[in-house]
Chains A and B, each alone.
Chain A
Amino acid sequence: MSFNEMENDGALREAYAAIQQWLSETPLDALRQKRLEAEALFKRIGITFAVYGEGGDPDRLIPFDLIPRVFSVAEWDLIDRGVKQRAAALNAFVGDVYGEKAIFKAGVVPGAILEGNDAYLQQMQGFTPPQGVYTHIVGIDLVRTGPEEFYVLEDNARTPSGVSYMLENRETMRRLFPDLFGSGTVRPVDGYPDLLRRTLTEVAPAGAPDPPCIVVLTPGHFNSAYYEHSFLADEMGVQLVEGSDLVVEDGAVFLRTTRGLEKVDVIYRRIDDSFLDPRAFRPDSALGVPGLMDAYFKGQVTIVNAPGTGVCDDKAIYCYLPEITRFYLGEDMILPNVPTWRCAEPDALAHVLDHITDLVVKEVHGSGGYGMLVGPAATKAEIEAYKTRLIADPKAFIAQPTLALSTCPTLVDSGIAPRHVDFRPYALVGREVRLTPGGLTRVAMREGSLVVNSSQGGGVKDTWVLAP
C-alpha cells in the first residue's frame, strides 16, 4: 500500500488540514467547474505544451490538478538542505571531471566510468567557468515512499525544464481560490525569476558591465518548452533570442538589434550542447551560433548551464553520489539515492540476477524509460533475453527496487482519488545555492500508474511549502 500524503488509515496529516477543510466545504461539481475555468485560463494565456511534428493538437495542455500537494516546515527543511547539498556536490564533481580528476586518482570513483558517457565534452577539459559553477540550474527529481522516506530518483544538471509550471500553477490557484491563500500560510514562489536573474548576474564574465546583458537562448517557438523560455525571459526582463539573433565577432558574442550590434555577457541557453555551435559540435545545427564556444573559452561570455554538465546525469555516476558527496563536502548525503546495484560489481550482479523479478533494471546511459526491464511486469522470455544482455556487458546496467511512490488526492472522473506523484525542486547556483520554496509536482492521472511524464499523460499540481 502506497503512502498517502494527506491521510493514512483515516488519520489526517497536519500539513493537509487546510486542504481537507477546503475539500469538505467544496462540492465536486464546483471543483469540476473550476477545473474547466483553469483550462480556459491556460488556453487563453497560451500555456500550452505543443509537440510539433508529432501531429496532434498544437494547443495541448498539461492536465492541471486543482488539489495542491503540501510540504510541512520540517519536510521542506529536509528537502532544502538535501537539494542544496546535492547541487553543491554535483558542481564539485563536474569541476573535478574537467579539472584535476582527483576523485578518480583517489580511487573513489573508477575513472572508466566516463567511458561511453556521451555528455562528456573533451573541449571543456581544463576550462573553469566564472565562479567555478558548471550547473547553475539543477532539477532534482524526488520520490517519496513514507513519512520520512524521500529518495532522489534522478539528477537533471543539463537544462532542466518545468519551472514555469511551478509559477503558473500557483498563479492559477491564487486566481481560482484566493481564499485558500488568505491566511498567509503558504510560502510564495514568485521570487524565482528574481533569484534566477541574480544567479545569472553573479556568473557573468569578469569585466562584464553591471548589470550584464543577459539573454535566454531558445530553439524557437516551435519547441515544446517555448512557452517556458519566453515566460522566463519576460519575467526576468531580458531578451529572448534564437541562434540567428546572435553573432560572434572578434571573439565576442553580439545581439543583432535595430540599433546595430550589442554585446552579450550571459546566455541562459535552453538548447542542447550539441546544437550550441556548429563549428564546435554538430555542423548541421541551424539553432546555434558559429564561434560561440570560442568566445566562451576566451571568457567573453558565460553559457548557463555550462556545456558538458550532462556528465553527472548519467546513472553510473548517480549511484556514486554518496561517495561523491563525502569526497568533496565531507558530509553524508542528506537525501539518499534509491538503493542501486551496480551490475559492474560481481556481488551486485549476482544479487540482481537472483532477484530480477523484483527489480527494475536500467541501462546506465539510457533515459526516458527506454531499454528498461520492469521485473514484476516482465514475461519469462523478456527476463531471459534481458539476462543475456546483462551478463554480456554488466557495467552497462544498474538495478533498483520497484518503489511504491506516495500518492496525493487528485480530482479524477470518479471523484477525488489517490494518484502517484513525484517532485522536482529547482536549485540555483551562483555565488551561493538558492532554492525557491516550491517546485513541480507531477502526478500520474491514471489509477495505479507510476508514469508521471507529461509526454505520457501525466499532470501537474501546485506545490505548497508551509510557512513556519
Chain B
Amino acid sequence: MSLAQVQQLVADEASLADDRPASAGRLQRLCRAAARALPATGVSINLSVDDRTPVTVAASHPATVQLEALQFTLGEGPFLDAHATRQPVLVADLRSAGRSRWPIYSPAVQDYGVRALFAFPLGVGGARLGAMAVYREEVGALSDLALDQAMSFAEAATTGLLDAQLAPREPDLVVHDALDGRYEVFQAQGMVMVQLGVPPLVAMARMRARAFTRSQRLSDLADDVLAGRLVFEPDEP
C-alpha cells in the first residue's frame, strides 16, 4: 500500500469528540486507521526522550496508552529496541519469543492480553524520532501485505510529525501531547537526582527499580516523590 493510499485512509477516518486539534488529531486518526487496516488491537506513535524513554504522542485507544506506560515504567520493550536499532521489531508470539528478550516487560504486557507485538522505527535518514507500536491479542505474524501497510503507516506518521514542525504553534502541541501526564515523572527525576547526588539517567533507573519493587507505575511513584511521601536515600538499594 502506498503512502498516498495510507494518507487517504487517515483522511477518511472519522474524528472523535475528544480528539486533539490539528496535527495531533491527525496522528490519533492515523493510529485508529492503522488499527482498522492491519488490523490490530492497538496502535500508538511514540517519541523518545533521552534516546531511552518512550513518550506517547497519539494512540488508537485509551487502553493502548496504558500499554505504552509499561515501557515507560520498565525501561525495556520493543520501542527501545526499534528506536535504538532502527529496525522493525516483529514478535508474532510473545509467549515463546518475549521472555528472553524482555524478561520483565513480556509477562507484564501479556497480563494486558497482548499476544503479538510489532514496532516500526520512525525517522528520516540518519535522524531517529521514535517508533510506532502495533499490538494484537492474537498470536500470529503480520502478513506481507499487513507488513507493507504498517511500514507505510509508519512513514505517514513520520511525515505527520515533521509536518507539524512546519506549521506555526503545532510543534508545541506535539511536545505537549507527548509529555502530558509525564511532567511529574521528570520533575521527580530532578528531585531524586539531588536526593541521591546522581545524574539524570541513574536517577531514572533507580526510580524504575523502586517502582518495580513496589509494583507501582512510574507516574504514581513520581507523585509520591513530589508529595514528599517517598524520599530516596543514598546507600539504599
The answer to whether A and B interact is no
Chain A interface residues toward B at CB < 8 A: none
Chain B interface residues toward A at CB < 8 A: none
